[in-house]
Amino acid sequence: MTPNNQLHSPIVTIEKFSDVSGLTIDTIRALISRGKLPTMKIGRRRMVNVALIEKEALSQQQ
């Protein structure tokens, strides 16, 4: 991961998650609609909950 693609926030926009993950925005929206990516709503924006993704990934390593 290059410095420009690092995440510094526990929640990010779909567009930022697309930049970092390499997934298309359409793919991310499909994953969200299927309940495969955790999100939270802030105002009118749907944000990807990166902190929860990291927590789940770490718990599966044990």
Instruction: Give the residue extent of every domain in the chain.
Output: 3-61
**DSSP 8-class letter at 37:** S
How far is the CA of 46 from the CAs of 4, 10, 13, 38, 52, in angstroms? 22, 13, 7, 10, 15
- The domain 3-61 is placed in CATH, from the list 1.10.287, 1.10.10, 1.20.1050, 2.60.40, at 1.10.10
Instruction: For 7-39, write each residue's pLDDT tens digit.
Output: 678 999 999 999 999 999 999 999 999 999 999
Instruction: For 46-61, write each residue's pLDDT tens digit.
Output: 999 999 999 999 999 7
pTM: 0.81
How far apart CA 8 and CA 32 sit, in angstroms, is: 21
How far apart CA 41 and CA 6 sit, in angstroms, is: 22
